[in-house]
Each structure stands twice: as C-alpha cells, then as structure tokens.
Structure 1
C-alpha cells in the first residue's frame, strides 16, 4: 500500500510534525558548535524537512515504477508457458491479470491523489486560502499545516471518521496540554484567533467554556513569566478576557482555585518591594519604550479580565479578598499632567486605556451593594492613594471628560460610607475641583460629555455634604453659595444644585446661620419650580423650600410670595395635589411626600399673617395625611440607597411627620 507523505500530508508522530512546523534552532546550534559529530552528515540527515523530501520522491518513484511494470505485464501477458492439463498453470494468467490490475489501480490512484493535492496546495494555495479565511495572518500558516497533519494522521492510523470529526478549536485545546512549548504556542494561537474573530467567537467561547480543564490551563498560563513564553501568556490572557464576557463563563473562571492571584500577576506592581513600614516605594521608570509598551499591554489585559469578572456581585467579593489586588488596581488610577504627552503615541494610548479601565473597575467595586459593597468601599477608601489619585484625574483630565466622570463616580460611591465621606472632604482640593467642574460652562460641540460630567459632579458634592458638618464648612469656606443659587436657573444642573443647597441648610449647624443667608435668594426660583411637572425637579425643590423658609421671618416669606407672584393658597393647593398624585411611595421620587409634609408643617406654623391651617383644612389635607399614615414604607425614611438597602436614615420617620401635621390641623 502506498501512503501519502508529501510536504503537506504525512502520517507521522506528533513530535515529528511539530519539528517540521517549527525548526529546532537549538539543535542546529548544537550541530554547528560540535567538534566531533556522531555522523559526518548528521546535520543534513536529521533535518526533518530533508527526510520528508527524500521519502516524498521515493514514494513517487515506487508508485511510478509500479504503474510502469503493471502496465508492461498487462500489455505483454508474458506469464510463461500455460498448459491446459495443469490446473495451477491454467489459473496463473487470470491471477496475474488480477494482481497487476490491482497494483496498477492502486499506484495510479496514489499518483492521481498526489497530483490533486499538489495542485490544491501548490497551485490553488489551499493552505494559504484557509489561513486567510481564518484571519490567522502570517504566523497562522504553521498552525493550519499542523492541523492538516494531525487530521490526515487520524484518518490513516485510525478511521477516516476520526479525521472528519476533528475541528480546529478542539485541536487547539488538545495542544494546550502538550509538554512542548511549540505545540502550546500553536494551540493558544488558534484559540486566541478564533476567540477574537467575530464570525467564530461565539461558538469558540461556548466550546471553551464547557471544557473546565482548558480554562484551568489558560489560567495557569497567566503565571508563566519566561520571556520565551510571553506570547503564550499574552494569548491566554486575551482568550480569558473574551471568555469572561459571558456571565456563566466568568463564574467558571472565578471558581478556579488561585484564579484571582493568576490574573493579578498580569498587573505588574509599579512600586518597589522591600520598603520600610513607614515608607512607600517609588514608581518604576522604563527607559525602553518596547518594554514599557509590553508592560502596559499586560496590565490592560489584566484589568479587562477583572472588569468583566466584576460584573457579578459574588466575584466582586473575591476580588476584594485577593491579597494585594486592590492596591495594584489603585496604582493604575494615578494621573499627572504629563500622562497624555508621552513621546510614543502607542504608549500614551495604552496608558490612557489602562487609566480608564482601572477607574471603571474601581467604580464597579465601589458601587457593589450589600455588606460586600460596604466592605469594599471601606477597603478602597483606606488605601492612601485612592482619593488623591482621583483628585489628580479631575485636575488633569479636562481633555478627557469620560475619565473625569469615572473619577467622580468613584467619589460618589465611596461617599455612601460616612468615614469615606470625611476622608474625601478632608483631602485638599477635591471639593474645589468638583465645584470647578460643576460650574464650568459647556463648550460648543461637547455639550453632551461635559453636561454629563457636570451633573455627576453635582451628585458627588451633594453626597459629600450629606450628614457631614465638616464638609459643609469646607464648602462655605470656598465661597460658592451665591453661585449655587445662580445654578438653580441652569436647567442641566439645577436638580443637583438644589440637593447641595438643601444638605447645606440641613447639616451645616446653627453656627453657620449667618453664612447661609445667600440661600434666601433662592426662594422665588424654588416656588416657581414647585409647580413643575418634572417629578424629580419637583421633589428636590419642595425639599429645598422646606429648609430655605426656615431662615426667614414671616415678613420675609410674605415678601418672597409677593415677589415671585405665587400666593400661599396656590402653593398649598400644589402640595395637596402632590400628595393626591403620590398616594403611595414612589421609587423614582421616594422622598417627595416627606418634603411636602415638612413644607406644609412650616406653612401651618408660620401662621402670623394668614390662616394657613384653615386653608389646608378646606383643601382636604387631613384626608391625604390619613392616607399617608396607611401607606408609609421604609423607602421614605432614607436619603440615599445602595441597591435596595437604605443609607443615611432620617431622624424622623414619615409616619411621625404625618402625625405631627395632623395634630396641627386638628389643634
């Protein structure tokens, strides 16, 4: 039987085919440097490509000779003397005809097959076309050759169906477990390419995701630090970054023992080791641009994997429990004025991408709900670089509003915890930078980005002054109260301006009464906004009104009503209408009934010039308050929320406020 063993298909061992795909340069160097070779022509003889060519031509010659001899015998019928009486000799001619026909057919089929495959490979460029179709690039030809080698070997050594059932993704996964680094490289290249190519990505990731040993092997490869295995490590990281994008796969990755530590190894620590307990190591400086670029590239992949894993709540807890991981992540949030001015454009883009992903990851961790989120926010805020790094992002990231927004989001989430709130406010320049962004005028062409950043800055300021007297004092020292009142007239930021002013009035303390006199100027604007149809704006303006009017005497409040053109009867009617409209707690405006009752109580207590109690009685406030008593919920007793968990509980419940208002009405 003749077997196909040309330069493309030959049934050889895996080790032999691997040597043919990747020439072993170490062996060549050994032959070159050897003083006494074992054989005079050992170098030539043991090169697999030479042996392959020798076998190739020998098979062609033997097949051609078989065709020629069989043809000659079939034409000449020179089989010797045949006697009719001798049975053996009588059957010889028929047997030899059959034999030579079969030999001729077999050899001819072999030559036709050889010609066909030679045509497909050499003329039609079969392998190159497959490589191009799979988008493998230049280095992918080796992987495609190796796949064809193994497929053909399975067909020859086993069943033809073994080769037909073989697919290139399974082939790549099989090579990952090889002891040969060359085979591992081929396997990981195949999986990486099919994972990142949009056409094949979904099916490939599904196939990898259900093969737990393959995921374990990929995670293990992240720990390989040998320079010769750098491409394997990087490709494994790229595959995992794609794999972690699906929730089920991310759980499998995170469920591997030591997975977080392996991923953490991609985040090269930028601080020197071995520093004293009272010292912090300095940043590493890379003078080699290529080394610098590789450094950031691995960091980017590590942060991308962690960011995708952090989409699951349980994984966030595992990230927080991984020793030394949070400080590494915080290290990458550092930014300075030279961050975007690197001479090497690739490095600059890579550093910005690293900064963006690290900020996204910290924001995701800080926004985690429940006890896990509480622990993460405490740990993040306790790292000494967190707040100062975010402050630098706000200061130097004017060209990149999205980075500023991410930094502001981190501060807002951390401010959910009282201790973190104090740390942020006590870090020099944070509140100042937030106000600079909040008051910044939008430039033409960037209204969307800058407008979103301004809104985010207002939310952060409102959170920082919530239940924090020290932060309120910091804001007063900045002298921005007048500008906050003016901001109530700006549609995009007036909601957050009202929140900041309300919290300032509520938590600054009695000793700051004189400093808050500017807030009185906001009263006319607030009264006009209460009649707005926008529920959110209506909620914050009613809440602000309940605090602003406490700084006024009855005469001053009467002047405000006259100046704004709104009568007390009109305001009272609006408050009762709000209670009728919100006959049960609303998720979008959870505090609106509380604020309405607070403002109604102030109006009934401020009864020197007009009988507001009688006015509310006529409008049916008593009936609406009784409805409130029957429908109160815990939702209305908190100022902010972390998921479904309420934070910053009000000192008085809505139920007690409604009872107080009823007592005044009935008194």
Structure 2
C-alpha cells in the first residue's frame, strides 16, 4: 500500500468502497448505511492515516487488487522508458550473433581443411600452402574451440574482490565523513584503522576468491586467474590478425597450380578463413567501440544511477548475459535483468558480490530517480517480494553487525523498508521466522555520539558505526509493518521490543526546545511515536492487549507528557502524543495511569483551548475519551480552573472539530462526573441556547453531539426552564418536536458517521414526555401529531448493535451503553402510547 500520510515514503493500498442497497420501497430490515468519510478531527486509523474519530465505527480496510504487469524484467508498467540494462543485453545478443557466425565458419573451415585439403591433397600441396594452412588451422581452431574457455576466464575476472573492496571502503569513508567529529586527525585515523581492519578480515576468509588465485608457483601476477582472460583475448586477436594476413597474401598471389579441384578447394579454404577472422575482428572492434568509445557501461550506469560501483556491477552483468548467449541460445541473455542478477548476487558467499547485489536492489527500489519510474519500482518490489530466498536473505543481512558488513546491512535495511511499505510484502516479511527480531537488532539505544577511548581501542569499527541511521531504518520498518493488525500482535509479542520502542519516544526538553536539533534525533522520536500510535490503535483482542502493555510501561505516559509540555516547536510530535493518549484512553487501566500522571490532563486542556487546527481537535478527543465512563477522569478535568467556562466558550468557535469535541467533553462530564460535582456542572445550562440553535440548523456530527449534550443538560433543569430556554433561542415547542421527528425520518437506518444520532433523539423524546406535566406544553400530543409513534415503530425494526456503544476500536464496540437501544425505543413507545407515566432515566 502506497503510504502517503505524513512525510513518509511509505505506501497504502486503496480500500474497497462499502456499498449498500438503495431504494425506499425495501421492507424494513436491520441495515447499516455506510457513508464514506474523508474528514474528521484527527482520529485513530489503524493504518496510521486516521480519518475518522473513535466515536465512529470503521469498517476493516480491504485492499483492492491491482492489475499487475507480468514478466520477469523490470518494466515501467507501460508508457515509460525501457530499463537501461536492456541496452547491455541487446549488445550481448549482437556480439553473440557475430561470435557464433565466426565460430560456425571457423568450424566449417576446419572441417574442410582436414577432410578435403589435408585428406585429399596432402601429398600434392606445395610446402607454402601446407605450412600456411597448418598455421591458419592451428590458430583459428584454437581460437574457435577455446572461445568458451576464454570467456570463462574473462567472466571470472569480473569477480575480483579488489574493485568491490575499494568501493566498499570509499562508500563507507564518504558516510563516515558525513558523520565524522570535528577533529580531522581522529577521522583520518579511524578511516585508516577501519580499512586495515577490513583487509585483515578479508585475508582470514576460509575459501579462496578465484580471481586472486595464482595458478602456478613463483609466477607472481602473470598467472593470477584474473589476468589469464585478458592474455587469452590478446592471443586470439593476434591469431585472427595472422589468419587475415596469411589468407589475403595467399589469395592475392593465388598460384595454386593446375591440378583439378585443388585450386577451388584452396580458394574456398582461404576465403572461409579470411571471413571467419574478419568476423571475429569485427566483433572485437564492435566491442571496443561500444565499451571504450561509446562508453556503454558508463552510460547505462548513469541511467541506472548506480554510482561508482556501476561499472563493476554492470561489467559482471554483461558477461553473465554474454556467456548465456554464447553457451546456449543467443536469446538466453536478453531474458536477464538487473533485479534477477542482484537477487543472485545477494545469495553469494562473498561480501563484495553481496554488496553489489544489495546496492542494485536499493537503487531500484528507491523510486526517486527519473530512470526508476513508479511502475519500475513497483515491479521491482513485487519481484523481490515474491522471492522467498531473496526476502530471507535480506532479513538475514540486517542481523549482520560486523563493521565490514555495515554497508551491506544498511542497504538491506533500506530495501526491506521499501518492501514493508507494500501490504502484501509486509505480511511476507513478518512471516519469515525471526524477522521481527532481526528488525529489532537495528535498534540500538546504548550508544553515545562521543565514543570513549576504551571503546575506540577495543573495536576500531564500533566507534564509527552509524547507529542513529540504523535506528531510523528499524523504526521505519516497524512503522510500516505495524499497519497490519497481525504484525502489531507479533511486535507486541517480541520480547523486549515494545520497551525499546517506547524508549525512543523520550525527548529531552533540550532537544524539543532546540529548533536546530539534529534531524535524525527528532525523526527517531517521531517514528517511534507513529509505531506506538499504530499499536494502541489496533482493534480487537490484539489491540486490547497492546494498549495494556503500552500503558504498563512506566515511561510511556511520562514521555508523552514531556512532548506535550516542551514540544511547542514540534507540533507534529504533540499531535502524535495526543493520538496515543486517545488510543490508550480506550482502556480503563490506561485511563487511570494517564489521570494519575501529573499534568497530563492540564496539558491536554491547555492545548485544546490554545492550539488550532488538528492538534487542538486531537487534544479535545483525548479529553472526551478520558471522561467517557470514568468518574476519576471527570474529577481530574473538573479540578482545572475555569474548565467549564472554557469548554462552553469553545462551543462558539469557528472550527467545527473544536465545537464537536467541546460538546463531547461537556456531555461526558455531565453524564459521568457523579453527584459530587452536580452543583458545579449546573453552570453548563448557559450553553443551552447555543446547543438548541445547533440542533435546529446543524447536520451530521454537529447535530448528533448537540442532541446528545441537550439530553444531559436537561438533567439539570425542569420542563418550565426548558420551555424558557426554547423561547430564549427563538424556537417554539412545535418546531422543536418536528425537528426531532425529521431527524428520525432522515435516519431510517443507522449511519456509521453518526451512530448515536437516533439514540440521542429517542432519549430526548423520553425526557420531553416525562417533563410534560411540569411544562406548559403537552409534548406527548405534539409528538403524536408529528408522527413520532410510527417513526419509533419503524426504528424498533431497524435497531443495530452499532447503536449500543459509546466508542469504537475499528469495528469493535467499546464502552457499551447501560441500556440497549431497543429497550430505549420500547420505553419511548410505552410513554407515547400510555398515560404519560414517567420513565426511568436512560444513560
């Protein structure tokens, strides 16, 4: 899934749109109308995107399968530029055509000479023809029949460790300079020591590396295997030149004698030898032209953006393709592509080949260059993601902690982070045994920027090991894996991982107060917060378990409090902190931890009152969730000075999300604060005019929360006071009753966006009927005239379980109402059809 939320390069896959049946003539049934929602005040979406509030149920997302482009190579998905390596495979094909044509003619010439000339005319050949024919046969025959062996030596020479080692050293040196301390002497000394350490490690390998093997003793570099291919190639060129010279000289003089059939036999022999040698020289010239003049390898490397290691890797790739064309069908080589080539290299036992392979995969999965269009990147990710061996190897690589293997580990972690950005690949990654533990190995908290002298002496590579960048990659992989509920469960069950993630959420006041703080430190905190947010937003029993484990960690809420208190310069971090608190507040024990941690509730209220846009909305949702069915939380909120006045003032704010959350908090305070705070809460009645006006003019969530707050405020007033409030708001009783009836007509079925709408209306209808005797108006008669009885009977046939909960974790209900909705409807019908007896209060 292409993850576009926040600054991540991450990816999400689209969800299936939920649909419902239409038509007003359908018979009454239990039906939930699913309305797509794109707005909302923050929310705790399980995918990290978060578009809906926890006060609304969210259907589980179902990924839509996309049309996949089949084929083995990298492809743009149509319309884009061809993969650059196709130029190399086409070059190998053309060379193979020339080579096989030359070899075919050489074999024909060899057979003709041995069978016809030496077999039929051996005794009559002149000494010149015999000697020249013998030289040509030996030279061309040796070339033709040893060509495959010469290619084997040349191919083997591309396995050299020298180039790969130099690339690895230079690459790591550049990264060291980027993160080096200010002292250049220390940097130079560390780099030199690191390079020596690499050489010592390489010389201790248990197996010989073929290109560096000396085939004969006491011969030095001459018979080192990587030089033999070049030597054989030079000898073949000299042989071809000699063959051309001898053939041309003999054809030019053409004094073959007058013996029957000998003259045409010799003409054909020398002609075939000349053409065969010319074809070989043409092949060599074409090779030299494309490689040395046209700079084909450098051009392709530039298009692939492979950097300094491009020539080494592409030379190896070219010889692989060319060898396949020569040894098999000429079309075998064009079936190769760099992704498959890289997958083969990462399975090698040699570090240099592993580095070349994993860096090619890193570049092709980056998706940020012109050569690697989005379609090409997707196909690369799909191809690597469906290869079990490649995935397992990449997971294995991120466990490697030796300083020599740092570059390989880094690249493998980057490739895995891209793979984890795809939902299907994320499931495959987490499905590998030990994968989560391997990702955990990237997280390292026990390090400090200035390394001690003892550490420097003990391990030269440890001082410069790039722990911060590996931490970022590890957290990024975990964040992308945590978008799936099953993966969240695996993360929570991995011993020690949750505590380590929470440790990264700590941000000191000095860091938060410094706008010039290192980006890697701030980003690590942000990624850790996103991981925790995804964990606490998980639905079902897994989410319940994770919320409890996160809340049980003694550093969780304290770290979040620090971010809320000192993170004014980093609003994104504060927003993530409030999201996490909202998620934790779904658990009763977590609520208690939050309330008992000093200053958290006060900070949330301060942010809600003073902050704007999403941050204030998130803080309001956190307060509303804390106050839900928690007398202790309500008491903590009410202890704050002027809290009720601030919440009532927020009802008049221009921001819709701000008004919604203020009304939610006030409703929960009125409903769950208890009798101890009843007297103080009575001041909420001054919000009644605003709430009544919103009821008459509002829609969707504004209407739902306004009706809900009205039912709670009415507990503090009687019928006469309510009638006075209606008149003060410019509303007559009949219009108000008709408005309630119209709301029920508009919501014939439960609506996910406003799941408590019908419950709140029914509760208000019950209160109106129970207050009829104290009020001047006869609400029972007004309700009957408005058709309320028929509406309630229709609602009785369409009640749903979704209307029985206060809040939702995905599609799982949390905090169930004390009385079912069907019981509330039955109570309203009894009052409406009876003598107006009072009903018991309904929550």
Q: What's the secondary structure of 1:648's corresponding residue?
A: strand
Find the partner of 1:650 among 805, 817, 821. Answer: 817
In 2, the alpha carbon distance for the partners of 1:27 and 1:41 equals 24
1:645 Cα deviation (Å)?
1.7
Determine if the alignment matches structure 1 residue 213 to structure 2 residue 389. yes
1:331 Cα deviation (Å)?
1.7
Determine if the alignment matches structure 1 residue 230 to structure 2 residue 406. yes
1:4 Cα deviation (Å)?
13
Q: What's the secondary structure of 1:178's corresponding residue?
A: coil
**1:11–1:149 Cα contact (<8 Å) kept:** no
Q: Which residue of 2 aligns with 1:243?
A: 419
In 2, the alpha carbon distance for the partners of 1:573 and 1:643 equals 34
In 1, the alpha carbon distance for the partners of 2:362 and 2:690 equals 60
Which stretch shifts more, 580-589 or 519-528?
A: 580-589
**2:726–2:733 Cα contact (<8 Å) kept:** yes
Determine if the alignment matches structure 1 residue 471 to structure 2 residue 471. no
In 1, the alpha carbon distance for the partners of 2:583 and 2:164 equals 56
**2:684–2:713 Cα contact (<8 Å) kept:** yes
Determine if the alignment matches structure 1 residue 581 to structure 2 residue 757. no
TM-score, length basis structure 1: 0.87
Determine if the alignment matches structure 1 residue 337 to structure 2 residue 509. yes
Q: Which residue of 2 aligns with 1:274?
A: none
Structure 1 or 2: larger helix share? Answer: 1
**1:4–1:110 Cα contact (<8 Å) kept:** no
**Unpaired segments of 5 or more residues in structure 1?**
31-36, 85-89, 272-283, 442-449
Q: Which residue of 2 aligns with 1:608?
A: 774
1:626 Cα deviation (Å)?
2.6
Q: What's the secondary structure of 1:257's corresponding residue?
A: coil
Determine if the alignment matches structure 1 residue 664 to structure 2 residue 805. no
Task: Label 1:357 to 1:293 Cα distance change in 2 as closer, same or farther (>3 A).
Answer: farther
Which stretch shifts more, 405-414 or 12-21?
A: 12-21
1:384 Cα deviation (Å)?
1.7
1:648 Cα deviation (Å)?
0.6
Q: Which residue of 1 aligns with 2:707?
A: 542
**1:638–1:650 Cα contact (<8 Å) kept:** yes
In 2, the alpha carbon distance for the partners of 1:571 and 1:349 equals 56
Which stretch shifts more, 154-163 or 62-71?
A: 154-163
1:544 Cα deviation (Å)?
0.7
Matches for 1:325-364 after TM superposition, within 5 Å? 325-339=497-511, 348-364=518-534
1:315 Cα deviation (Å)?
2.0
Determine if the alignment matches structure 1 residue 70 to structure 2 residue 247. yes
Deviations 1:558-603 (A, max 9, x none): 4433332223333222222222322332222221222122222222
Find the partner of 1:460 among 622, 633, 656. Answer: 622
**1:14–1:150 Cα contact (<8 Å) kept:** yes
Determine if the alignment matches structure 1 residue 110 to structure 2 residue 280. yes
In 1, the alpha carbon distance for the partners of 2:217 and 2:803 equals 93
Q: Which residue of 1 aligns with 2:157?
A: 16
1:75 Cα deviation (Å)?
2.0
Deviations 1:177-199 (A, max 9, x none): 21111111111122221222342
Q: What's the secondary structure of 2:808's corresponding residue?
A: strand
**1:378–1:417 Cα contact (<8 Å) kept:** yes
Which stretch shifts more, 578-587 or 43-52?
A: 43-52
Determine if the alignment matches structure 1 residue 501 to structure 2 residue 666. yes
1:21 Cα deviation (Å)?
6.4
Q: What's the secondary structure of 1:138's corresponding residue?
A: helix
In 1, the alpha carbon distance for the partners of 2:699 and 2:465 equals 50
**1:19–1:48 Cα contact (<8 Å) kept:** no
In 2, the alpha carbon distance for the partners of 1:596 and 1:253 equals 49
Determine if the alignment matches structure 1 residue 299 to structure 2 residue 471. yes
**Unpaired segments of 5 or more residues in structure 2?**
1-139, 167-198, 204-213, 453-461, 836-843
Q: What's the secondary structure of 2:806's corresponding residue?
A: strand
Task: Label 1:261 to 1:29 Cα distance change in 2 as closer, same or farther (>3 A).
Answer: closer
**1:174–1:187 Cα contact (<8 Å) kept:** yes
In 2, the alpha carbon distance for the partners of 1:653 and 1:173 equals 59
Which stretch shifts more, 244-253 or 525-534?
A: 244-253
1:296 Cα deviation (Å)?
2.2
Deviations 1:80-136 (A, max 9, x none): xx575xxxxx55444333333222222222222222221211111111001011111
In 2, the alpha carbon distance for the partners of 1:301 and 1:390 equals 22
**1:267–1:302 Cα contact (<8 Å) kept:** yes
Name the count of aligned residue pairs. 629
Q: What's the secondary structure of 1:334's corresponding residue?
A: coil
**2:512–2:570 Cα contact (<8 Å) kept:** no
Find the partner of 2:653 among 462, 484, 490. Answer: 490
Q: Which residue of 2 aligns with 1:621?
A: 788
1:639 Cα deviation (Å)?
0.6
Matches for 1:142-291 after TM superposition, within 5 Å? 142-197=312-367, 198-199=372-373, 200-268=376-444, 270-271=445-446, 284-287=447-450
1:18 Cα deviation (Å)?
0.9
**2:403–2:465 Cα contact (<8 Å) kept:** no
Q: What's the secondary structure of 2:449's corresponding residue?
A: coil
Q: What's the secondary structure of 1:18's corresponding residue?
A: coil
**1:4–1:10 Cα contact (<8 Å) kept:** no
In 1, the alpha carbon distance for the partners of 2:314 and 2:602 equals 60
Determine if the alignment matches structure 1 residue 414 to structure 2 residue 584. yes
Q: Which residue of 1 aligns with 2:540?
A: 370
Q: What's the secondary structure of 1:250's corresponding residue?
A: helix
Deviations 1:303-358 (A, max 9, x none): 22222222222222222222222112222222233325779x7x822222222222
Task: Label 1:27 to 1:318 Cα distance change in 2 as closer, same or farther (>3 A).
Answer: closer
**2:157–2:229 Cα contact (<8 Å) kept:** no
In 1, the alpha carbon distance for the partners of 2:202 and 2:813 equals 70
Q: CA RMSD in A?
A: 3.0
In 2, the alpha carbon distance for the partners of 1:400 and 1:407 equals 11
Q: What's the secondary structure of 1:237's corresponding residue?
A: helix
**2:526–2:573 Cα contact (<8 Å) kept:** yes
Determine if the alignment matches structure 1 residue 568 to structure 2 residue 730. no
In 1, the alpha carbon distance for the partners of 2:555 and 2:162 equals 50
Q: What's the secondary structure of 2:697's corresponding residue?
A: coil
Task: Label 1:75 to 1:380 Cα distance change in 2 as closer, same or farther (>3 A).
Answer: same
Which stretch shifts more, 19-28 or 184-193?
A: 19-28
**2:397–2:409 Cα contact (<8 Å) kept:** yes
Q: Which residue of 2 aligns with 1:97?
A: 267
In 2, the alpha carbon distance for the partners of 1:206 and 1:402 equals 32
Q: What's the secondary structure of 1:640's corresponding residue?
A: strand
Find the partner of 1:323 among 495, 502, 523. Answer: 495
Q: Which residue of 1 aligns with 2:28?
A: none
Deviations 1:617-648 (A, max 9, x none): 33333333333333222221111112222111
Which stretch shifts more, 477-486 or 509-518?
A: 509-518
Task: Label 1:256 to 1:302 Cα distance change in 2 as closer, same or farther (>3 A).
Answer: same
Higher relative contact order (CA 8 A, sep 6+): 2
**1:498–1:540 Cα contact (<8 Å) kept:** yes
In 2, the alpha carbon distance for the partners of 1:185 and 1:191 equals 10
